[in-house]
Structures are given as C-alpha cells and as structure tokens.
Structure 1
Amino acid sequence: MKMTTATVALCFASGGVLAQDATLTIESWRAEDQAIWDDVLIPAFEASHPGIQVDFAPTAPTEYNAALNARLDGGTAGDLIVCRPFDGSLALYQRGHLADISDLDGLDNFPDFAKAAWQTDDASASFCVPMASVIHGFIYNADAFAELGIEEPGTVEEFFAVLDTIQQDGTYTPLAIGSADQWEAATMAYTNIGPTYWNGEEGRQALIDGSAKFTDPQYVRPFEVMERWADYMGRAFQAQGYTDSQNLFTLGRAAIYPTGSWEIGGFNDQAFFEMGAFPPPVEAEGDTCYISDHTDIGIGMNTATDNPEAARAFLEWIASAEFAQLYTNALPGFFSLSNAQFEVEDPLAQEMISWREECESTIRVAHQILSRGEPNTWNNMWTVSANVFNDAATPAEAAAALQQGLEAWYEPQQN
C-alpha cells in the first residue's frame, strides 16, 4: 500500500506506527522509578502503540545534569528528556536541545501554572509536558495522635498546642526535622508554610514584579513561626540530616514530619503505624488555606531524536488521562498535573491531593526567575532558613539577607 505523508501523520496521531518500528530512550534522574516504568507505564504505552518500544535509562540524581548535558552536546542523549522545572530546562530549550511542543495534542489538559514550569517567560513556547507535582504539608503518626488524644491542627496556635502536648508527654519528638543539610529548612519549613502568609501566587508574583520585598512582613512572618519550631525539634537537631529525620519518624520516635508527598511511597514501606496528613495551618480559623503544589517533573523531546513522530506520540500519551491515572497510582505522592478526573488509590496520597479542592495552590517561591543570578536565591534560602532554626539569625535578619542577595542582581528589586 502506498502511503502519503498525510496518511502517515494520521497514523501517528491515532497512536499507531505503521511506517517503521522505533525505539525510544528516556533520560531521567529518578532511578528509583525503574520498576514503575518497566512494569506499569511502558507496557501500557506499548500496548496501544504497536511498533514503538521504550527504554527507561536513568542516571543517578547527583550525576544527571552533568551527564545529560554531556550526552546532549555529544549527540548521544536519549529521545525523551525528563525535565526538572523552570530554569534548568529552559536553558536546555534555549540551547536548542528541547523541542518546541506548543502544538502538542493534550497540552491543553493542563492548567497554566503547571505549563509555566516548562515554558518560556512569555509563555510563547512550551518544551516539556507536565508530569507531576509534589504537595507540601505535614505527615503524622496517627497512632501517636490517638494515643495522646490529639487531633489535626487547623490553625497555627492549635499546631503549637499539639506540639506542647507531644512535648509534655515525652514519648515522641514533636517535629522530625533537622538543620544539618539546610535544604530541609527551606523546603519543608519556609516554602511549606510561607504561602499561608504571602497569599500563595499573589506573593510569589509580587516578588517577581518587584512590588514586594522579602523584608515585608508577609515574608518575615514564616521565619518567626519557624523560630518557634526549634523548641520542638529534639536534641541536637543541628546535627540531624535528612535521612536522620526520615528514620526518626518511620521508627516511630517522632510524631510529626514536616515534608512533602514525595515521602509517601517510602514511608508506606517503612512505617509500622498508621499515618495521616494535614496542610499548613492557617493563622486564624476561616482564613484561606494555601499549599505548595510544586511542579516537579516534566518530559520533553530531544531535538536531535531520530524518531520525532514516535517521540511526539509518546508525549501525547503522557498528556492523556490514562497516563495521569497510572502514574499517580503507581507512584503515590507524585500527582498528575492533568485536569483528568480519576480515583487516587493510596489513602495518604488521596488526603494530600484533596487539599487542591480546599486550598489555593502555588509553587516554591524562589524557583521561577528569582534564582537565575548570584547569589542564588534558592540556595541562599537554604542557609538563612537553617540559620533561623539554629538561632544564628533572627527572622528579620534572614529576610534581609534574602532581599540583599536578590537586589544584588535582580533589576525589578533594585528600586
């Protein structure tokens, strides 16, 4: 049968590859997801796309950026690139390594805030399909709560009352978080509770356009709340790293773990007790709830792929409701950013994703635009947040350091 170009295009759009077989290789930093791709996701795609085979070939997270850049520059990178959000992937697009997929079927299934993580600043080009976000909040030992007769707090003062009860009982460390690795202080504390005070996207955009400063009260206030956390973080928290905090919680020695949904899969395997979760408490009952629903993972097409049609077919499948459901349930705590409606099977994951219905969503405050210069605002946030925990800086001093660093290079803040 003689096939026209239009016929071939139609076959690809409908999910079939008739002209020739193709093998696609996926670059990723998430080696821990190998079984999920091999056993769940790839078989589902290949079943509906005969002729396309897919190979998931991850690199260790600490080596991913350097190794991927070397392979891209050398022309040996895979067909599909799992994308970190914002500036790192934007740089790959600007260097010509990620294709413009603005016209991809299914991209309209995602809200604007999700697509923004993988678009140019003016949103004129999209270069990765959003795959998943992670939601920040607090995971707790439900058995410990029942034992102590305490309930999920809704307000900040209820939160500290719960911590006081746990502290006075003495069986559990109230908060499983340390400051040794610094990034937890920024990720699990400041950008976890901060949106409550700067009103989520409103406050994030205000920093970007220069109409607000880190020294304004709404950005200082989270540091003031964090300063109070230190009394509940246990002995020698200054020497406590990320894995120490994980172990403290999963071994049943801590009651509350400030964190994000990315921990759910591991905690399900390790914890011997029932778990629950609650969103960042509000200042007063009736206040709007805000969550950091952080755009975390996308996937794009290598412009140098030898299989562009097959790669686009795969990206269209990533944008589908089928993938959204499979991925969210195969990897609890990594939530599809699609508008698709489906049942989330893991109860803890269902609890956290339900917050999207009752809270306003935003992303980590320093991840878009604000960390392009030096000093890097996000890295600076690690340091100053840990300093607040360690009593090495006051909340006002921490905020002033963030502002001084941003003003050093970011023009909208230089006024």
Structure 2
Amino acid sequence: MTRKFLSLAMVSTALITSSAYAEDVTLTIESWRNDDLTLWQEKIIPAFEASHPGIKVKFTPSAPTEYNAVLNSKLDAGSAGDLITCRPFDASLALFDAGHLVDLADMEAMSNFSDVAKSAWQSDDGSASFCVPMASVIHGFIYNKDAFNELGLSVPATEEEFFAVLEKIKEDGNYIPMAMGTNDQWEAATMGYNNIGPNYWKGEEGRNALIKGEQKLTDPQWVAPYETLAKWGPYLGDGYEAQTYPDSQNLFTLGRAAVYPAGSWEISGFNAQADFEMGAFKAPVQSAGDTCYISDHTDIGIGMNAATDHPEAAKTFLAWVASPEFASIFGNALPGFFPLSKTPVELEDPLAKEFVGWREECESTIRSTYQILSRGTPNLENETWGASVAAIKGAETPEALGKKLQDGLATWYEPHK
C-alpha cells in the first residue's frame, strides 16, 4: 500500500509540475491580419490547445499598414512575439537575413509543401526555409447579386463589359458602382494595379521578364493598367480620396456599393456582415477569348522568432500549422485563404469555391513587386501604391508614372541600370 501511495504521489506531483509548466508556456503570434482575431480565438487556437495542453497561444495582430514598422520595432527592442506571421518574399527574407527568423528547412513537416509553396519564404538559393507556408489569396471582384439582379446586370468578362456595368450602376444612382478608397494607398495597388495588371503583362511571363531586365516599367504592358485605373475614379463615389479601407468594406457590406475590388481574404468578414447574396468575378480580359491571368498570391506564412524563449513549443506549433488538420480548419474557418499544403482541402464556402475555381480557367501569378524588386530604395512596392493612387485621381499621366517607377528601379537594381 505504501509503495502504491508513493507511486500515486509521484504521479500527482508530476502532473502538478506539468500543469505549472504548461501555464508558463504561452506563445504570442504577431500578425497583420487584425480582422481574423475572432476566428483565431474561437477556432484555430482552441483546436491546437485541445491537442497540446502544455502550450497556450495568443494572437496579437497589428493594423495591416503598420505591421512592418511595428514588427521591426518590436524585434529591435526584443519584445516581439514567439511566432512571426510572414509576408511573402522580400519582406520576410529581410527579417531572415537580419537574423530575426529561424531556418526551418530541417523540420520534417516542411515536406508537406511543394517547392512552389515554399519559394515565397526561402533564401534566393533555396537552401533555407524560414516560414511555414499557410495560404495564398486570389484577387478579383466581389459583387452584390441583389443589386445586379435588380438592375438586370450580367457579370462582365471583358473590360468593355466591365465599364458598361459600372456606367449602368452609376446612371441608376441607387448604388455606388465600386467601393474603394485611396486614403490608405495600398488598396489601389493591391486590389487595383496587381488585380487587373496580370492580364496585361501576361502573369509570370511579364513578372519574370521584369526581374531579368528584359521588360521595363515604361513598356506598354506595364503602363496600360494605369490607363485603366484612371477610368475608375468616376465610379468610386464622392469623397473616395479620403475613404479608408474599413470605410470601403462597410460601404459594400451595408449594401451601398454594388462592386468591391477584392482579395479573397475579404470573404469571411463579408459573410459575417453582409445580408445579401454575393458573387465574384475575375479581372476582366481586354478582349473576348484572351487568356486570363489571376493574381493567386502566396500570401501568408508563419515563422519562429530567433529570440523566442520557447523554441521547442514554437516548433511544435509550426509543425501543427503544417498538418492536414490545420489546413482543413484554416481553409474553412478563413474562407478565401487557400491552404498551400499538399493535402487537398475540401472547401465549403461557395464564394471561396468561386475564387479558387478560376485556377482551372486562368494562369496563376503573384504580385509583380513582391519578389526581388522591392529590396532597394526607392521601394517598388510602396512606389506602386502611390502611382496607383495618382493614376486613379488623374494626378499624373500613366506614362509619367511608368517613367518615375522605372527611373527609381534603375537607381539600385542592376538588371535595369
């Protein structure tokens, strides 16, 4: 009896010790997806904690436009979270080169991803992988089906049809034709220029040619999207110049705008807020029968802060992020973020299915400025924000904008000198 009692006491002590340790291990995640907070808190984190009782997780996002600056400040101050949500390509590569992200190439779980999925978070030579791929997002347009039915509108396939639809909505006067502002700038480039642009520069063909110096930002296929954006202004509603990203989201979900230039990341928020049926259409081609190209952008990964006090717990979480369980939860809890793991995920959301279905019809590419071309100063990604806004406002000619961007790139990027 004594031996049995001693054994039970030892087990009890071990459990208490384990429990005390578990309370001490809390991982904090840095992210720019502040609109996903509830879904992380209610679905993703509970699923992880249920199977990993020794680890607690906190999701602590920043505003998208402030994330890079906030994260860099925290990393420099030593106060950043254990896990770092990774933007694709150069922004995260810079963090890795600065010693802030750990090389995860030796993690067995990384074999769950294709080379293409991993390439957004690798060193140029592919030897180091510093973020676990989570998802890609697809660009296009979300529309209010009730408004389209009410006005007798069909989904546009060509640019001519696209502007004809916007004109009819404007003439009717009951809806803002398209909800997008220019106050925050990034939307004009992300949901404007890099949404419609791939149809002009032929996706990866043009993007890679620009990187190699075989094409220039003054070439017609790179200037033309600005010419098209210059036609958007009259359809964005009064005061669009001061309209913020949340303002645009609200205008659309409240049913006051008929079309929203979008990324698939909007789906979960729109589903929760809009009380009308939504549909989606891809960026219109210039002429019927043209090959279509979609921005299917490797958008989000997650890595480990090199300064974390809990490296083993952090790697445990990252291994779980690489699992089919996470892919299924993430893909369906956050419809519009399409998992990158090799294991197929059955999506439930009809709008997400509509977006991802374009992969069967069109050629996929990523945003033109994200790989290599934004490493120097001036930063081409940020310069494209300003140029896209200027095009929409009609502040500068498309040709002048192309020249300004090309001249800036040529000051530091060897293939363009």
- Say whether the fold is shared (TM-score over 0.5): yes
Aligned-partner Cα distance in 1 for 2:183–2:38? 32
1:354-411 deviations in Å (ceiling 9; x for gaps): 2222222222111121111111111111111111111111221111111111111111
Secondary structure of 1:295's counterpart equals: strand
Within 5 Å, give how 1:167-182 maps onto structure 2: 167-182=170-185
1:215–1:399 Cα contact (<8 Å) kept: yes
Aligned length: 395
Q: Aligned letter for 1:159?
A: F
1:164: how far off?
A: 2.5
Is 1:278 aligned with 2:291?
no
Name the residue aligned to 2:164. 161
Letter in 2 for 1:111: S
Deviations 1:216-261 (A, max 9, x none): 1111111122222223223343333323322322222221111212
What is residue 91 of structure 1 aligned with on the other side? 94
SS in 1 for 2:372: coil
Distance 1:78 1:166, change over 3 A: closer
User: Which one of the candidate residues 307, 322, 327 is aligned to 1:324?
Assistant: 327
TM-score (norm 1): 0.88
CA distance in 2, matches of 1:106, 1:245: 39
Alpha-carbon deviation of 1:126? 0.5
Do 1:24 and 1:78's aligned partners in 2 also have CA atoms closer than 8 Å? no
Q: Is the aligned partner of 1:58 residue 2:77?
A: no
Residues 337 and 73 (structure 1), Cα distance of their counterparts in 2 relative to 1, 3 Å cut: same
Instruction: Describe how 1:332-411 pairs up with structure 2 within 5 A.
Output: 332-411=335-414
Matched letter for residue 379 of structure 1 = N
1:97-152: CA deviations, max 9, x gaps? 21111122232333333322211122221100011222211010100111111111
CA–CA distance in structure 1, aligned partners of residues 415 and 100 of structure 2: 30
User: SS in structure 1 opposite 2:367?
Assistant: coil
* Contact 2:35 2:269 survives alignment (8 Å): no
Pairing 1:7-406 to 2, within 5 Å after superposition: 23-29=25-31, 30-49=33-52, 52-61=54-63, 64-66=67-69, 68-73=71-76, 75-406=78-409
Map Cα deviations across residues 161-201 of structure 1 (whole Å, 9 max, x no partner).
22232223222222222333322221111111001111111
Indicate how the Cα distance of structure 1 residues 241 and 34 shifts in structure 2: closer, same or farther if over 3 A, else same: closer
CA contact (8 A) 2:335 2:352 kept: yes
Q: 1:228 & 1:150 partners in 2: Cα distance?
A: 20
Residues of 2 paired with 1:165 and 1:376: CA distance? 38
Once the 2 structures are TM-superposed, how far is the Cα of residue 68 of structure 1 from its aligned partner? 4.0
Q: SS of 1:298's equivalent? A: strand
CA distance in 2, matches of 1:81, 1:71: 11
Q: Secondary structure at the match of 1:81?
A: strand
Query: CA deviation digits over 1:37-83, x for unaligned, max 9?
Result: 33322332334445x31322414336654554455455554432222
Contact kept, 8 Å, 2:141 with 2:280, in 1: the verdict is yes
> Residues of 1 paired with 2:401 and 2:70: CA distance?
35
- 2:27 touches 2:82 (CA, 8 Å); kept in 1? yes
Partner SS state of residue 262, structure 2: strand
| Distance in 2 separating the partners of 1:57 and 1:253 | 32
| 2-structure distance, mates of 1:79, 1:236 | 41
**Closer, same or farther: CA 315–142 of 1 in aligned 2, 3 Å:** same
Q: Is the 8 A contact 2:30 2:81 kept in 1?
A: no
Q: Secondary structure at the match of 1:202?
A: helix
Which letter maps to 1:28? E
Letter in 1 for 2:219: D
Name the SS of the counterpart of 2:85 in structure 1.
strand
Query: CA RMSD of the aligned region, Å?
Result: 2.3
Q: Could you list the runs of 5+ residues in structure 2 that have no partner in the other structure?
A: 1-17
Identity of aligned residues (%): 61
Instruction: Output the CA distance in 2 between the equivalents of 1:78 and 1:43.
Output: 19
Give the TM-score taking structure 2 as reference length: 0.87
Distance 2:385 2:72 in 1: 26
C-alpha distance in 2, partners of 1:236/1:309?
51
